[in-house]
Structure 1
């Protein structure tokens, strides 16, 4: 029997993207709920009881409630909200983060899908901490810009109906953002990074930047050493591509939309031997959300990891 999958919150931006990646699949059965019953707890609990895996595309409080509706502890839950990304008992759904992460995901029935900004940030920073090039207590800054689809339906409507005339906007000005605890924990930092997010007038795609003063680091690594640490960390990975130094140096500019409609992350090390600009580019709706959920689903159900995903 094919595994049965239910998306709770299918009508939202992330849910629609996940559904589009699963609908054509012949190796799963995608369960649906009557539109009139999408907020009916009893109806949702009944369909979850039939499912082998449930993907939650809900606000945090609603996701916590949804988890309580799942009676079978063996039903795989993949939560795309922020609710469980640092919670005990939940495995962080970033398969490439560590050598043992895939096995942990495969063995778990409770998987938290990473945030889009943390995905790029962790991909850049964690290998440098693990390799000893970056001290865990270093004061790290991350600058990032995302397409407006990252703000869900309200922000999409705001930009597409021209309710706002902003072409570029910074936010989280009080230095409180729900992604920073996730960044700190899973990048293995001693302190939360200084996070400077922004949104632009483009629908999807994103760039995450981490600037490093290489001369100030204790080991004073050269740019090539930083690049080598990233390359070693993701050797053989399908969805993370570390761009060669020469290839990166040939670029004059880098747009945010180059990985759109894929599950790919591109990592770059720009700059020189004194100052490096570490850059991650990905689709905030792909590897930053829906693509990651499908990848985690594939691993958790023992299916081909790249099924339904564009590299």
Structure 2
């Protein structure tokens, strides 16, 4: 049976990438809205209700409107906005979050695609809290750098217009009220909202994120090897995972593998653990594509799970 897919917001960055990833699939029929009817609510409503799965690539309010237009009891939804990421009736679309999450997504009617930034934090921290190596009340800090496509049309236009004058390193979200913080708090297992400082770089896509850990005050101080083993064991137990864990090497001082563009145009995420046991300090690193695993790749992975096909269909690892 051919599944009908409607990408509401297909002209945006994420929508275009999803459409490209689905091109050539014989098990899918991608429904398309003509350019002159993209703001026609009746036409959008028709296509939303005709689709087996609607993928929403829209701002929050527009995504909520699209969901309200679905009147049947059958259209399933993947929403790429932040509108429903902590909603109790929506499955969280980070399939590798834990062993059960792929099945949760596969059986869900409504799936909230995760944000790009939260995935690096969740992937590294959740396994440590679940293993008891970090307490749930640990005060986390989180930072990193992402390509400017993560900021949507406005930021893309700003960087492209600036050309050589564009900022190479621009921290933002310095009111510490970033829209991803509720999602990070909900799915890491922490009881304390993380201190999050994102940065945008003068490159289109890709990202590297960092979780620094001061471990000396803990009642039982985990070693770097302990941290790495807990993270590696977590992802080794998850079938069809796109998350890899780099080997632990306590003597490694630098590596080109931390290039934020290393996994561009793939759905791969690679995690790294760096530690100095004598100082009781560690840094957890994640490298992935903010437009791949951070957006369109995750959406296609979730779509595959919902349709019961290989999770790796249409996805470069």
TM bracket, shorter-chain basis = over 0.9
2:261 to 252, 257, 260: 257
1:142–1:211 contact (8 Å) kept in structure 2 = yes
Structure 1 residues 254-308: Cα deviation after superposition (integer angstroms, max 9, x where no partner): 2111011110000000132121110001000000000000000000111111000
Counterpart of 1:292? 298
d(CA) in 2 for partners of 1:124 and 1:73? 37
TM-score by length of 1: 0.97
Counterpart of 1:96? 96
Q: How does 1:46-57 map to 2 (within 5 A)?
A: 46-57=46-57
d(CA) in 2 for partners of 1:232 and 1:50? 42
Aligned residues: 311
Counterpart of 1:125? 125
1:214–1:222 contact (8 Å) kept in structure 2 = no
1:142–1:195 contact (8 Å) kept in structure 2 = yes
Q: How does 1:191-202 map to 2 (within 5 A)?
A: 191-202=192-203
Is structure 2 residue 207 aligned with structure 1 residue 222? no
d(CA) in 2 for partners of 1:140 and 1:250? 23
1:142–1:193 contact (8 Å) kept in structure 2 = yes
Structure 1 residues 43-96: Cα deviation after superposition (integer angstroms, max 9, x where no partner): 011111211000000000000000001112321100000000001200000111
d(CA) in 2 for partners of 1:40 and 1:283? 33
Q: CA 1:250 to 1:173, structure 2 compared with 1: closer, same or farther past 3 Å? A: closer
Q: CA 1:176 to 1:182, structure 2 compared with 1: closer, same or farther past 3 Å? A: same
Which secondary structure state, in structure 2, belongs to the residue aligned with residue 161 of structure 1? Answer: helix
Q: Cα offset for 1:214?
A: 2.5
d(CA) in 2 for partners of 1:214 and 1:92? 30
Which secondary structure state, in structure 2, belongs to the residue aligned with residue 292 of structure 1? Answer: helix
Q: How does 1:1-311 map to 2 (within 5 A)?
A: 1-162=1-162, 165-235=166-236, 237-246=240-249, 249=252, 251-253=254-256, 254-273=258-277, 274-311=280-317
d(CA) in 2 for partners of 1:110 and 1:295? 14
Structure 1 residues 195-220: Cα deviation after superposition (integer angstroms, max 9, x where no partner): 01110001100011000112222320
Gaps spanning 5+ residues in structure 2: where? none
Cα RMSD of the aligned pairs, angstroms, is 1.4
Structure 1 residues 97-119: Cα deviation after superposition (integer angstroms, max 9, x where no partner): 11111111111110000000001
d(CA) in 1 for partners of 2:153 and 2:69? 25
Q: Cα offset for 1:165?
A: 2.9
d(CA) in 1 for partners of 2:218 and 2:263? 31
d(CA) in 2 for partners of 1:263 and 1:220? 34
TM-score by length of 2: 0.95
Q: Which moved more, 1:11-20 or 1:228-237?
A: 228-237
d(CA) in 2 for partners of 1:120 and 1:98? 14
Gaps spanning 5+ residues in structure 1: where? none
1:205–1:285 contact (8 Å) kept in structure 2 = yes
